[in-house]
Amino acid sequence: MDKASIRDFYQKNMYGIWRSGEKVTYKRSGPDPKGNEARNPFEVVGGELVKLHVETETNKTEFTVHAYLPEEADRRRYTAGSPYIVCMHPIMPMTALRAKGWAVFVLEIGKIASDDIKHQGAFYELYPYGDDENEQTGVLMAWAWGASKVIDAVYAGLDKEYSLDADASMVTGVSRWGKATAVCGAFDERIRMTIPACSGAGGLALYNYRSEGKSYDFSSIGGPAEYTYGKNEPLDCLQSEAERGWFNDSFLQYKKPEDIPVDQENLPILAMDKKRYYFIIAACTGEDWVNAPAMWECYKKANAVYEQEGLADHLAIHFHLEGHAVTDEDVELFSEYFDCMYYGAENGTEFDKLKTTVFNGQE
């Protein structure tokens, strides 16, 4: 399949219709009046509030993002403006990212699309979910759309106001938002680097690779010499009342993984381009449910295509030992990797350093 056919498959049979081309404007509203103390790990607080207004010919909506800017001293090495990363939700290494000289935008993700089958939120105010396949966009695709609108706003003028390099865009998220990150990278071709973390089934875990009962040796990175994986998330869980809202109705047609004719290595393949980069994150231990070895297998299959196209350096992967998260360790690696790829090899890490940190378990 060519890229157009793969995107068409994903839209009609899994994630639903990708939307773009709206008129996007914004209004800066000053510092968050709620302050910086979050009541839970997923509450977005702090930063400067930016309200995005999004209009089609027939509808309009708006939602707020939180902008966190680096200190002037940290951004000085980026003469063309700071790189920026759009986060689907608050992530742990916020301070580390800003210390690198990067700007960070965090979405109030539940207001873009509710995490259920109700199909509510800013996205669905523009594009109501209907019975026809051309009226159906799942929540993962809707969240991806929200990140894409931030990039629209940057090109609409936020780059100048915040001293950003509009082309130096990245997107990241963990778990279900790692899935949405991978979808976003597949459909928004402007994103310079896609960083899905711990994305699991429906993300970068191959549907057709199970690690249940298989053992791996992680002693070389300080882990157990024999780690045996427990239960992986099955297909019917993705199709349950709790999760089927992530996809369109057509996804329910698949009764077993073997029925799905396109597997998930195609998400990074859709993002493959000489001007784009991809950095996969997952953990070796504690990721039984999200099937971390299936993400390693996904990387290997995608990497074969990247190598065939002469773009092997454009796909990187790092498995930290534990943590369902983006960690400081990950930030150190992917920030150096981005600097190396985007600004030139003299500014970033050696590729051999990345290649020594990949998942190295043995069955």
What are the tens digits of pLDDT across the range 3-29?
A: 999 999 999 999 999 999 999 999 999
Identify whether the C-beta of residue 291 lies closer than 8 Å to the C-beta of residue 257. no
In single-letter form, the type of residue at position 197 comes to A
- Rounded Cα gap, residues 15 and 12, in angstroms: 7
Q: What is the mean pLDDT of the chain?
A: 94
Distance CA 315, CA 267 (A): 12
Q: Which residues of 166-200 are buried (b: 16+ CB within 10 A; e: fewer)?
A: bbbbbbbbbbbbbbbbbbbbbbbeebbbbbbbbbb
pLDDT tens digits, 177-188: 999 999 999 999
Query: Exposure string (b/e) for 71-83, b if CB count within 10 Å is 16 or more?
Result: eeeebeebeebbb
- Pairing relation of β-strands 82-87 and 315-322? unpaired
Domain ranges of the chain: 3-355
Tell me the pLDDT band of 349, cut-offs 50, 70 and 90: low
Q: What is the mean pLDDT of residues 204-230?
A: 93
State the pLDDT at residue 220.
84
What is the rounded average pLDDT of the residues 198-226? Answer: 94
pLDDT tens figures, 255-294: 999 999 999 999 999 999 999 999 999 999 999 999 999 9
According to DSSP H, which parts of 115-171 are helical?
A: 122-126, 139-153, 159-162
The structure tokens listed for 204 are: 């970068």
Q: Residues 117-135: what's their mean pLDDT? A: 97
Is the per-residue pLDDT at 351 higher than 60? no
Residue 110 token pair: 């539940």
Fold of 3-355: Rossmann fold (3.40.50)
Q: In what order do the strands lie in the sheet with 23-31?
A: 23-31, 48-55, 60-68, 103-107, 82-87, 164-174, 193-197, 277-285, 315-322
Write the pLDDT tens digit of every residue in 290-311. Answer: 999 999 999 999 999 999 999 9
pTM of this prediction exceeds 0.85: yes
What CA–CA distance (Å, rounded) separates 150 from 29?
Answer: 15
How many degrees, rounded to 5, is the angle at CA 86 between CA 85 and CA 89? 125
Nearest-angstrom CA–CA distance, 182 and 194: 7
Token duo for residue 219: 């002693």
Q: What average pLDDT does this structure show over 80-104? A: 96
Angle between helices 176-187 and 3-13 (to 10 degrees): 140
On whether the CB atoms of residues 127 and 119 are closer than 8 A, the answer is: no
Residue whose entry in the numeric block shows the structure tokens 């999200």? 290
H/E segment holding residue 14: none
Contact indicator for 287, 275 with CB cutoff of 8 Å? no
Q: Is the pLDDT of residue 222 over 70?
A: yes
Could you tell me if 94 and 46 are in contact, meaning their C-beta atoms sit under 8 angstroms apart? no
Is pLDDT of 358 > 90? no
Could you report the per-residue pLDDT of 140-151, keeping only the tens digit for each? 999 999 999 999
